[in-house]
Amino acid sequence: MKDSEWWRGCVLYQVYPRSFQDTNNDGIGDLKGILKRLDYIQSLGVDGIWISPFFKSPMKDYGYDVSDYCDVDPMFGTLDDFKELLSGAHKRGLKILIDEVWCHTSDQHKWFHDASKKDWYVWADAKADGSPPNNWLSYFGGSAWIWDERYNQYYLTHFLKEQPALNLWNPQTKAAIFDVAKFWLDMGVDGFRLDVAHAYLYDRALRDNPLREKDDPWPTDIPPSNPMAAQKRIYDMCVPEIYDFLAELRSFVNQWEGRVLLGEAGGQDSEYTAATYVQTGTRLHMAYSFGLVGSDMKAPAVQKAVSKIEDILGDGWICWANSNHDFKRVLSRLNPPPAFHTRAAKTLIALGLSLRGSYCLYQGEELGLPQAELTYDQLVDPYDKMLYPHHVGRDGCRTPMPWEAAKPHAGFSQATPWLPVPENHQMRAVDVQELDHDSVLHFTRQIIALRKNSPALTHGDFTWLENMPEGVIGFTRRSKTQTYHCFFNLTDREQMIFNDILEPFGYKFAENKG
């Protein structure tokens, strides 16, 4: 493998900076906190770090509403802090990917208040009756169109009203975004995670989305409680012209050796979107879908998501993830009995690291953290509040990282943190697991080391094994020099792997036990 293709088979570690480590005791994590914990991240054996947004922002959507793409929000530190973090990571052999939010800006971005840049955003006239231009919906509820009295028009937003959508059809907008990319690439970042890449472009005729038919598959990027699921989102996002845009972006980024683009691919058919966004070698390097992070992680759901990707991936490369900052933590989605928590956490990590592709490990996943159960008055996320109590997701997976069990707030901060540290997280703190060689943390290091030294697991072919017992998935990973047969029991009961499954590979159990 070429050094420039380090991303093929890599393991990334996602850091949500608000919740990783606080060093100035304001209850919010910061860039110096990530720097402080670089040795820990390196000890996991990962290849790089994806850092969620730390740019200047009014924090209506906790950093995903950017008001200045080329500066650090004082909450997280300074640009010099980031440069020190970047240098510290590189000295340890760790790559750094930063989270670029190019679908929209904050309504406090200077572009949005510059009349000469009005066309850098998506505007449309009202219908004759004064209603929005079409039926497009926001992920965060209600119409995707917001009335603005400055221009007596509506502007488009896919999320909060404070997040106006950029018009990337406009060459000037696109050039400004490419200038942002150049700023960070010249600084030395190793690539970008692209937020909501499937919503970069829209149907210029602003046609209504059709309704989802009764038998249409349910989208995996939103919970059933979200009204957006009633529509087929084929005009407000995931339009065919996106492929040309991604190819242009890839060509631009290729000017810097060894840099990588990791796209978030959602929409009506997340697996199709992710798989096609990485094909031909001229689009994104990697993408991830919502087939795992949006599922219950039981065998049928896993097999469905992986099969869909494998069936259409072709020459592309996927990045798998069991968890991230937007979804209920994976252990709580599988929801094993408490006695099986440690075993289930290990199984889920091993499964993700055994699939064909790269893998992104979300902070705390290596500790087997369950979802934090928060009351309504503890919630801060507008999305969680909107869908409460039917949707339990973002705040409960964003609670602070537990470092030291005996310290207040598990060593995250000396001040009251922005979200509470649950008691069942404190007991799973890093310092506790470091002393327990049977812990999820030690297992994570072991399985990552196994993967990195296994050509079959990092780059080998993938083939399903058939006739598995109910609740078990099995597959083969094979390279020219090595073969692994992988079996994962995603139930809380003992399962048998029978000889008729194993004998074709030269294995036989005398008592037919597995």
DSSP 8-class letter at 368: T
* Residue 195 appears among annotated catalytic residues: yes
In one letter, which amino acid is 506? G
Options 22, 47, 81, 195, the catalytic residue: 195
Q: Is 244 part of the annotated catalytic residue set?
A: no
Tokens of 212: 């989802």
Give the span between the Cα atoms of 14 and 323, in whole angstroms: 10
CA 188 to chain centre: 22
Torsion of CA 241, 245, 251, 253, to 10 degrees: -150
User: Taking the CA atoms of the chain, what radius of gyration do you get in angstroms?
Assistant: 23
Given 236, 264, 384, 395, the catalytic residue: 264
Question: Tokens 């020219």 — which residue?
Answer: 480
Under 8 Å CB-to-CB from 87, ≥6 apart: which residues? Answer: none
Measure the CA–CA gap between 219 and 267, rounded to whole angstroms: 7
**Number of alpha carbons in the 13 Å side-chain half-sphere of residue 303:** 19
CA-to-CA separations, 123 to 143, 152, 267, 274, 408, in angstroms, rounded:
14, 10, 22, 28, 49
What is the distance between the alpha carbons of residues 270 and 100, in angstroms, rounded to a whole number? 20
149 with 92: CB under 8 angstroms?
A: no
Rounded to whole angstroms, the Cα distance separating 395 from 377 reads 12
**At what angle are helices 171-187 and 242-253 packed, to 10 degrees?**
30
Name residues whose C-beta falls within 8 Å of residue 120's C-beta, 6 or more positions apart in sequence: 111, 166, 167, 170, 172, 173, 176
- Catalytic sites, residue numbers: 195, 264
